[in-house]
Structure 1
Amino acid sequence: MQRVRVIDLETGGNGSAEVCEIGWQDVVQDADGSWRLDEERGALFVNPGRPISPDTMAIHHILDEQVKDAPFWKAVAPDVLRPDGGVLALAAHRATFEQRYCTPVLSGGASWICTWKCALRLWPRLERFSNQMLRYQRRPEGLVHELGLPAHRALPDAYVTAHHLRDMLNETSLEQLLAWSREPGLLPRVPSGPDRGKAWKTLDRDALERLARERDLDVRFSAETELHLRGDRPDAKPLAQAPPTLFQL
């Protein structure tokens, strides 16, 4: 079975957060090449090895007494990240967070799809790109509202993300999603500062050069991409293919 496993983690806070819950939802490919959500989904509590901070409890509502007898992360992770039959890739929304904990040793070196980065590429006209905002802006077909609740718990969040991933895989190739996920996020608009909300194509070269020196990697990459598209950075490394309308907002 060809499948991508969507992962979502909840952590305990307190500075050096440790995982306290993992959830997963599989997206599988049918014989006709289309993708759909599978019945394979689940969640497990994980002992984070330290108390969960009140600030973090206020987000996901997982209590210390719920996880104190659960197994530790290194005992839980391999079976979830490397299921029988394997996976084509793992996926998460803003996958760099999950990758901090799902290391190559635990995941078997699996490739990752970041649905946040891919949403920026495929649906640039949307207003915002958080997992839950995508849910309500897009209203993915077949998403059972109650199964996606409560938000900020591992299984409901993985279930919601899987609907975005299914639609992405039915719109473009797995290889393209993986390629976009390896690059920084290509933001459709300037996210902050005096040019906030403006499309990159509307900025003059001085503004783009300034933004190309920002500390934020996604901002730098997005500004450099627009400069490259204008021919102002002819020596820049060729970029992964992007939809031709991306900067025509």
Structure 2
Amino acid sequence: MAAAPHIIRVIDLETTGQAPPAHGVCEIGWQDVALGSDGQWALHGDGGAHFVNPGRAIPPITQAIHHILDEQVAEAPLWHDIARPVLDPWPRRVALAAHRADFEQQFCTASLTREADWICTWKCALRLWPESPAFSNQVLRYWRRPTGLVHERGLPIHRAFPDAYVTAHHLRDMLNAVGAAQLIAWSRLPGLLPRVRNGPDRGKEWHEIDSETLAAFAADRDPDVRYTAECERARRHGEPAA
């Protein structure tokens, strides 16, 4: 019998809000991407999703996004009872992945993931596909049209399994382009933004803005903006990237 393949598990969470402990998870979905004997990564298995009892009411403003009702999760397991089996399919798991993984990592703590490495497909998309008009999971879906993505299986959006399923197609193509180690390395850094996203220079590429404006961006509150500005300043001075 062939050995089970190594996998990267794509995770998506639906929650009651933006950050624990004030907010809790109400659904977790996953889709695996596996390394085949031919050296190529491909979607593996059917994936799945579980409702989770978040331990509090789901605010109407959040229900309006994912349409999960309090009565649907009332009898579901609590997060700490269900998270580990989904997050830690040991020993086959190479890493976990999510689109904007910083959000998932707030809830999927190191103790629940056995200190897994993470791949952020948003950060990696910024580097691999900088010409994309935007970098949300769904914009990338319709701009890229990944091979094999079944349209209906990726719906409705803002539900845990369909979103994980779409992200898995982006991840598969990223892995086959540059490999897991590079994606993990990029994911440990802030996002490298291909274009200015705020202010009078919005939409410009970073090499188009003047040095004074660039210096102001290097002091921005947003870590992705600061990091990108520092990388551009280093490029202009012939120095190693930040």
TM-score by length of 2: 0.95
Are residue 61 (structure 1) and residue 106 (structure 2) matched? Answer: no
Task: Tell whether 2:12 aligns with 1:4.
Answer: no
Instruction: State how far apart, in whole Å, the 2-side matches of 1:12 and 1:18 are.
Output: 6
2:37 maps to a residue whose letter is A
Return the letter of the residue paired with 1:80: V
Q: Which residue of 1 aligns with 2:171?
A: 165
Distance 2:156 2:27 in 1: 14
Answer yes or no: is the 8 Å Cα contact 1:10–1:20 preserved in 2.
yes
Query: Which residue does 1:30 correspond to in 2?
Result: 36
CA deviation string 1:28-69 (max 9, x = no partner): 011111010011401000000011011111110100011000
Cross-structure match for 2:160: 154
Q: Name the residue aligned to 2:182.
A: 176
Structure 1 pair 151/224, CA: closer, same or farther in 2 (3 Å)? same
Residue 246 of structure 1 is matched in structure 2 by: none
- Runs of at least 5 residues in structure 1 that lack an aligned partner in the other structure: 241-249
Given residue 114 of structure 1, which amino acid in structure 2 is its aligned partner? C
Aligned length: 236
Counterpart AA for 2:32: D
After superposition, where does 1:1-249 map in structure 2 within 5 Å?
1-13=5-17, 16-231=22-237, 234=239, 238-239=240-241
* Bigger shift: residues 196-205 or 155-164: 196-205
Aligned CA-pair RMSD: 1.3
Conserved in 2, the CA contact under 8 Å of 1:14 and 1:53? no
Deviates more, 1:129-138 or 1:200-209: 200-209
- For normalisation by structure 1, the TM-score amounts to 0.92
CA distance in 2, matches of 1:163, 1:58: 26
What's the CA shift string for 1:200-235, capped at 9, x where partnerless?
Answer: 011121111111011111011111100111117x4x
**CA distance in 1 between partners of 2:109 and 2:148 (Å):** 32
Name the CA shift for 1:193/1:3 in 2 (closer, same or farther; >3 Å): same
Deviation of 1:14 after TM superposition, in Å, equals 8.8
